[in-house]
Amino acid sequence: MNSRPLLPLLDYQRIYQVIYSVLEASSIAVTHRACIFFAAVGANILREHHNLPATISAGCMALMVDEQRANVVVYGRDENGIFVNDEKAFHAWVECNGWLIDFMAPIMGVALRQDGVDWPVPRRMLQKRLSDRKGSLSEVQHAGEFFASHDHALTESLIDGQSVQFLDLMNACMAWYRRPPKPLKEIALADSHGPTKKLTLRAPSIDGVW
C-alpha cells in the first residue's frame, strides 16, 4: 500500500500556516481553541484549491503522543467507561478520500499547556488513513496510533453556530491561500475590533510527521 499521505508536507504546512496566521492576526480569535475553524477552512481550501472532496468531522479523538510515558491526548471525556463527546468536549478534523487530516495538530502542545498539561508534544503533521484507526481508546498503545469517532449531529450544530466573524476570517484565509510553490497574495485583514493588519505567516514550524 502507498504509505504517502494524501497531502504533501508543503501543502499541509501551507494550509496550517495560513489558518494559524489569520487567527493570530485577529483580535477576537483564540487560536488554540479553534479546531472547528481549522477543520472548516482546511476542508474549504482542499475543495476549492486542491479539487478534493473534503468534509468536516467533529467528535471524539485520541492520539498517542509519547509511548514511553503512555501519554495519550484525548478530546472527549470518559463517562462510566464510555468515551463520549459533546459541545464542551470534542475535537474537529477533516476527512477526505479515506484520510483523517488534522490541521491543528502542530499546536496540540500549546492547547495542552493552556489546560495545565505540560507534556512535550512535538509539532507534527497529522494525516492518518481512517482504516488505521483503532476500535476504541484502550487500543491506542503506540506512538501515532489514534482513535476517532465522528458525531454527525455535533458537527452540524458546531457549523451552524458559527458567527459572522468566523465567516469573515474564513474568507480571509481563502483569499490569501495559494498552493505551494506559488507565493501567497499580499492582503490585509480588516478587523472591526482593531486596526487593519497586513497578513504575514507566523505559525510555528512543523518538525515531523505522526
pLDDT digits (tens, 9 = 90+) for 187-202: 998 766 667 889 999 9
**pTM of the predicted structure, to 2 decimals:** 0.93
Mean of the pLDDT values across residues 75-95? Answer: 84
| 3 located within any domain | no
Q: How far apart are CA 126 and CA 94, in angstroms?
A: 11
Asked whether the predicted pLDDT for residue 1 surpasses 60, the reply is: no
Q: 70 φ, ψ to 5°?
A: 60, 40
| 1 located within any domain | no
192 compared with 18, residue with greater pLDDT: 18
Closest CA to 187 of 37, 16, 22, 64: 22
| 19 located within any domain | yes
Residues 6+ apart with CB under 8 A from 187: 172, 175, 176, 198, 199
Q: How many CB atoms are closer than 10 A to CB 68? A: 6
Mean of the pLDDT values across residues 78-87? Answer: 76
**What is each CA distance from 103 to 59, 84, 170, 191, in whole angstroms?**
16, 22, 14, 24
**What is each CA distance from 94 to 3, 101, 122, 180, 210, in whole angstroms?**
19, 5, 21, 20, 16
Residue 111 in grid coordinates: 492547547
| 172 located within any domain | yes
| 2 located within any domain | no
Structural domain that includes position 200: 9-209
Distance between start and end Cα atoms, the chain: 18
Is 107 within 8 Å of 31 (Cβ atoms)? Answer: yes
Q: What is the CATH number of the domain that holds 203?
A: 3.10.550.10
Mean of the pLDDT values across residues 154-178? Answer: 91
| 4 located within any domain | no
| 131 located within any domain | yes
Which percentage of the chain shows pLDDT scores above 70? 96
Closest CA to 101 of 170, 30, 12: 12
Asked whether the predicted pLDDT for residue 166 surpasses 70, the reply is: yes
Confidence (pLDDT) at 81: 64
| 140 located within any domain | yes
Query: Could you give the number of structural domains in the chain?
Result: 1
Asked whether the predicted pLDDT for residue 69 surpasses 60, the reply is: yes
Confidence (pLDDT) at 46: 98
